[in-house]
Every structure is written in C-alpha cells, then in structure tokens.
C-alpha cells in the first residue's frame, strides 16, 4: 500500500510541528509514506467562498500530486471532507478530484488499518476533545449529537481512549462549532469569536488541561482566543498527542502540554 501524506497548506506554514508529529507517528507505527512535492492546498477555502473555478484548479493539482498513491492521508478532517465530498460540483455535475475516494483523515486511517493494536501508549492528562464539524457531520466520524442514527466509531476518541492514564472530559456541548469557518472567522469576527469563547469556557468548566482536535484550523481559532485571554488551556493536534504518547521514550511533561 502506497501512502501519500497531505500536509494542508496552513499546517505547512503555521503548525509544522503537527506535520512532524504525523511523521513521528508513522515512523513509530512502521507505516511507509511519501510526501509528494507537488501538493499545495486542497482548495477548500475557495470552494466554501463559492469560487468553484479556483477550487477545481486546486482539486486537479491535488489529483495530480496524489495520482500514484493508494491512499492519501491528511491530519485534517476538514480538508479530508472537502476532498471527499465537495470535489465534485453539484451544480455542473463535473467531477474534479478523483483522489477523493482514496483520501482519509489521519485518525480514520489509523483506525481502518488498526495501526495502534498492541502498541500501548500513555497520556496522563485531562483532554478536552473538540469535534471537528466536518469530520463529524461530513465524514461521519461518530454520531453528531443531533442524530439518532445507530452509533458509529469516532476515530479520534477510539485512538485516544486506548491510551493509558488519559481522561476525556465531559463537555456540556460535545460537538458545537468553534466558530472558525474559514473566511467567516474574519468577515464575521464578532460572532466567530463569541462562538470560540463559548467553546473555551465549556472546556475550562469541564476541567480540560489540553484541548485536542483532528483539525488544526479549529485549534488555531481556539488557541488564539485562549492565549489572548491568558487561559491556561493548551491546544494540541491529536497527531501530536498520539506521537508523544506512543514515543518509545516518554517525552517530558512540558513537551506534552506544548507551548503555551
């Protein structure tokens, strides 16, 4: 199985440590992977802004970059959802992005190949799990709180739940949006921030030490708000937590909590 790793553009530029965590994780789990040079952006920001033409151009680039791979893995529920569900244009019926069907969000992939079986791992922390809306409601990673469908596996929870010493805190609203929403975070700054602040308050009330998610974009939104307000919460992508928890030599406690 040839695995191609897609590191979303904003992760590449703003949170390279998340990409490196995926690399560490894959190496620890013995998963061979490649990171094709030609990748840039999946095109989601353009699609959600309604710019189908620009989105399609990037979709074709994505296709070309990953044409040779059996599976494309990305540490972003949102990008994965876009690649999988929105590449085809509902209006024109045109289909760009044949890579969509082969694309997996990181945790989803690890659960699918049962990568953590017998690996162990330890994370003695109280973790607040921020559900990525797109992982949850588009990729159906778990059952949204609104839905009464039969239960589904929530990959992030399944992976973290297997770590020794971890406590996943109980939120009052377990899957409300962080308010990021791409351009929304800029154009609707006031509402966006209020949404994020409400999420932070929920995690704080629940006693979380670290907030984690399968999406860096949600974390950037929440972390930006929390840092400005001097909140003690730490924000780390699930890949970082898994890489630390599974490291052969456990990292120093400060390392788990990440930069504040």
Partner 1 sequence: MGHVSRARAFVADAERTGWHDQALWFVRAKRDAAADLVPDWEALRSEAAAIKREALERLPELWIEFEAQARRAGAVVHWARDAEEHNTIVAGLLRERGITRVVKSKSMLTEECGLNPHLERQGIEVVDTDLGERIVQLRHEPPSHIVMPAIHLRRGEVGETFTRTMGAPPGLDDPDALTALARSDLRARFLAAQAGITGVNFAVAETGSLVVVSNEGNVDLGTALPRLHIACVGLEKIVPAQRDLPVFLRLLARSATGQAISAYTSHFRGAMPERELHVVIVDNGRSRLLAEPEFREALACIRCGACLNTCPVYRRSGGHSYGTVIPGPIGSVLEPARDLVAHAELPHACTLCGSCAEVCPVRIPLPQQLLAWRGVLAARGIHPRRRRIALRLAAEILARPIGLRLFGGLGRALVRALPAAFVDRLARPWTRQRALPPIPASSFRTLWKRRQSAARASAGARDAGDAGMEGG
Q: Which residues, including other chains, have CB under 8 Å from residue 246's CB and lie 6 or more apart?
A: 25, 28, 29, 116, 119, 120, 121
| Contact between 242 and 121 (Cβ < 8 Å) | yes
Nearer to partner 1, 115 or 195 (CB): 195
Q: Which residues, including other chains, have CB under 8 Å from residue 32's CB and lie 6 or more apart?
A: 2, 3, 26
Q: How many helices (H) and strands (E) does the chain have?
A: 13, 7
Query: How deeply is 153 buried, as exposed, middle or buried, from its count of CB atoms within 10 A (0-12, 13-18, 19+)?
Result: middle
- Helix, coil or strand: residue 128: strand
DSSP, res 164: B
Determine which residue in the list 3, 4, 11, 233 makes contact with partner 1, applying CB under 8 A: 11
CA separation for the pair 232, 194 (Å, rounded)? 19
Q: Which stretch binds partner 1 (CB under 8 A): 112-120, 163-171, 181-189, 206-214?
A: 181-189
58 binds partner 1 (CB under 8 A): yes
CA separation for the pair 163, 126 (Å, rounded)? 12
Q: How far is the CB of 70 from partner 1 (least distance, A)?
A: 21
Nearer to partner 1, 85 or 157 (CB): 85
For 129, the enclosing helix (H) or strand (E) is strand 126-129
Interface positions, 75-94, toward partner 1 (CB under 8 A) = 86, 90-91
Q: How far is the CB of 68 from partner 1 (least distance, A)?
A: 16
What number of chain residues touch partner 1 (CB under 8 A)? 76
46 binds partner 1 (CB under 8 A): yes
Q: What are phi and psi of 155, to 5 degrees?
A: -55, -45
List strands edge to edge, sheet with 103-105: 3-5, 71-74, 103-105
Interface positions, 21-40, toward partner 1 (CB under 8 A) = 23, 35, 37-40
Q: Which stretch binds partner 1 (CB under 8 A): 56-64, 66-74, 100-108, 119-127?
A: 56-64
The mark string for 194-233 relative to partner 1 (x by CB under 8 A, - otherwise) is xxxxx---------------------xx-xxx-xx-----
Determine which residue in the list 187, 205, 207, 255 makes contact with partner 1, applying CB under 8 A: 187
Q: Which stretch binds partner 1 (CB under 8 A): 100-108, 161-169, 172-180, 241-249?
A: 172-180
Determine which residue in the list 101, 191, 205, 207 makes contact with partner 1, applying CB under 8 A: 191
Nearer to partner 1, 112 or 187 (CB): 187
The mark string for 130-159 relative to partner 1 (x by CB under 8 A, - otherwise) is ---xx-xxx-----xxxxxx----------
């Amino acid at each position: 199985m040839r695995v191609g790793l897609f590191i979303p553009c904003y992760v590449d530029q703003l949170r390279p440590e998340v990409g490196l965590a995926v690399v560490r994780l894959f190496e620890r789990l013995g998963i061979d992977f490649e990171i094709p040079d030609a990748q840039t952006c999946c095109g989601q920001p353009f699609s959600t802004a309604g710019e189908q033409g620009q989105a399609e151009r990037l979709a074709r680039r994505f296709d070309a970059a990953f044409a040779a791979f059996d599976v494309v893995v990305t540490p972003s529920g949102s990008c994965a959802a876009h690649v999988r569900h929105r590449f085809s244009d509902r209006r024109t019926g045109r289909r760009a992005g044949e890579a969509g069907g082969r694309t997996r969000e990181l945790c989803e992939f690890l659960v699918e190949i049962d990568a953590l079986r017998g690996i162990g791992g330890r994370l003695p922390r109280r973790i607040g799990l921020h559900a990525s809306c797109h992982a949850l409601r588009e990729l159906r990673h778990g059952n949204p709180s609104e839905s009464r469908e039969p239960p589904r596996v929530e990959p992030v929870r399944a992976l973290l739940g297997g770590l020794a010493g971890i406590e996943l805190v109980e939120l009052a609203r377990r899957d409300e949006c962080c308010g990021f929403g791409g351009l929304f975070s800029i154009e609707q700054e006031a509402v966006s921030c209020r949404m994020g602040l409400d999420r932070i308050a929920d995690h704080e009330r629940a006693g979380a030490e670290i907030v984690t998610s399968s999406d860096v974009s949600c974390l950037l939104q929440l972390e930006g708000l929390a840092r400005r307000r001097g909140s003690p919460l730490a924000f780390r992508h699930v890949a970082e937590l898994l890489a630390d928890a599974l490291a052969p030599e456990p990292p120093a406690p400060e390392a788990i909590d990440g930069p504040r």
